[in-house]
Chain A
Amino acid sequence: MNIRRDGIPAIVEKHTAEAAEHFAPFSARRTFVIGGIALILCGMIWGDIFAAFILHPNANRIGESLLAATRAVAEHDPQAAGAAFQNIGALLENRGTKVDAHSHMIGFGYIALLMALLQPFVAFPESAKKFLARLLLVGATLLPVGVFLIHYVGMAGSPFAAIGWASVFGDFGGFLVCLVCVCELAGLWTYFRAPRDAAAPDNLLADRSWAARALLCGGTILVLIGFLHGSYYAGAYLFQYEARDRTLLSAMTTKAAANDSAGSEQAVADYGQLQSAKALNVAAHAHVIEFGVLAILLAFFQPYVFLRERWKRTWVIALLAGSLMLPLFVLLELRWGLIAGGIADAGGLLVIIALLAMLVGVWRYTGRLDSAAGEP
């Protein structure tokens, strides 16, 4: 082996030089990788806080308001029924905007990681790539923050009939992300249309380490499980649940109007159970696929995770275990209640910790790269 005077093998020096070129400080790829993982982490932490502290109290308040509406029907008080539904509308908006902020932040993190992988194939100068990377992160932050604020800002000062300022800013954020994707597609198209010499190998796409293979294989299996569960749910329950939804709402009103308070209260309780079953099935389906996609994406970035092999394997196993635990125990909440909910939250926390550890690994890699290149 060719060894330099300072003791660093020449092959390591060559690898570091190639990596420094692909992953330079403030480069588009580094911005996309760190920004993407940070977005996913923020989205997941927000999701865990939401699930633990907001979701269940919010569902209870919706149930109480529905009960108040049926009592208003029994007392022949239409104003009180209308007021109860205004309250339900506000609670649903509160829940919906928080779920949207959570899912969009994670989704945009995935897009950022994908863009990082595609950068060598985008035929733009580095300055344009950097601009697009920052623009995507601005849009990816603006949309979830705007959506989160919809419930609090409402229609204050808005010149539009149905859309408030928070929603306008959120939609603008979505437009920015969409615009960046169109530009990146144009860059890819230009790259593949232009005649060129054989492309330099990208070390991200060439990695065949244990961690990368485990994440790629595990991720594909998770996505497949999610698809099979989604198909089963859509085929066996979707239309059945929609019909039952309608039947129970009808039962609440007819029984309350006939002064059958026990019957109407039972219908409200059954309706609550039905909404739980729907929400838990959809959440399990969405989370297992999202975690599968995350695992596949992280498989590509393992060369940038500068940790000992033992720790890399530990975090891969933790991520895959958490990715299976969360959706499985979300489904089991239907039978085991809050105990399963707690285990599901622990699964989510495991994924967050593993992701955080990988981000630390990427951070350490950038530090090593920059010090080797003489950067501060």
Chain B
Amino acid sequence: MIDSRKVLIFGGLTLSIWGMAYGIWYAVFAEHQTLDGLGAALASGFMRAAENRMAESQAALADAASRSFVYVRQVDAHGHWIGLGLLLLILGIAFDRVGFNERARMFIALMLLAGAILFPLGVLLETWDRGLGPQVVAVVGSALVILGLCGTALGFARGNS
């Protein structure tokens, strides 16, 4: 088996297992608590408004928005790590059909693997740091995946006997 296939198969399967392990940890220790907190913050926002305590109401709604921001990204990281891992695995199985030399195939494989790790990591880092840094990591990761996929599609089109 060619090395670029090994990179994608082992990298993809490891990334999928990592995403699943993260999902199990998240479901057991964080998800229910996060959703309970989100619901309580939203309800509190409306209940305080009904009592005409508008400053507290707005603070509760801001808290709900912050919890929602975190929840969406935690679920996205889990889904994207697994999804990208499976995609790498599938592409790895068919990678001998990519019509480039092994050096170019390895470059594409490493680009795909790096992007598949970085993109969900950047999304997850946004929950700790709302600055530009994590967004740049996510954008670079997604760009690497898209470029790698374009290269793979081109390689499939060229074919490899």
Contacts and interface: CB of A to CB of B under 8 A. Distances in A.
Interface of A: 69-70, 72-73, 75-78, 80-82, 84-86, 88-89, 92-93, 107, 110-111, 114, 117-118, 121, 162-163, 167, 170-171, 174-175, 177-178, 181-182, 184-185, 188-189, 192, 205, 216-217, 220-221, 223-224, 227-228, 230-231, 234-235, 242, 245-246, 249-250, 252-254, 256-257, 289, 293, 296-297, 299-300
A174 B156 CA distance: 34
B13 A184 contact: yes
Contacts of A246: 61-62, 65
A171 B83 CA distance: 19
Interface residues of B, number: 61
The residue in B32, B52, B82 that gathers the most chain A C-beta atoms within 10 A of its C-beta is B32
Nearest to A181: B17
Given A76-B51, A114-B86, A217-B156, A175 B24 contact: yes
B114 to A, nearest CB: 15
Q: Secondary structure at chain B's binding surface: helix, strand, loop or mixed? A: helix
A221 B153 contact: yes
A189 B17 CA distance: 15
Contacts of B6: 192
Given A181-B20, A182-B17, A257-B54, A216 B83 contact: no
A182 B52 CA distance: 55
A220 B149 contact: yes
Contacts of A223: 87, 149
Contacts of B107: none
B20 A178 contact: yes
Contacts, number: 164
A185 B13 CA distance: 7
Contacts of A85: 39, 42-43, 46
Interface of B: 1, 6, 9-10, 13-14, 16-17, 20-21, 23-24, 27-28, 32-33, 35-36, 39, 42-43, 45-52, 54, 57-58, 61-62, 64-65, 68-69, 72, 82-83, 86-87, 89-91, 93-94, 96-97, 138-139, 142, 145-146, 149-150, 152-153, 156-157
24 contacts: A73-B50, A76-B51, A78-B46, A78-B47, A80-B50, A81-B50, A85-B42, A86-B43, A107-B83, A107-B86, A111-B16, A118-B93, A163-B32, A171-B27, A175-B24, A192-B1, A227-B142, A242-B69, A246-B62, A250-B58, A256-B49, A257-B50, A257-B57, A300-B94
A224 B69 contact: no
A192 B50 CA distance: 66
Contact of A253 (B24, B49, B138): B49
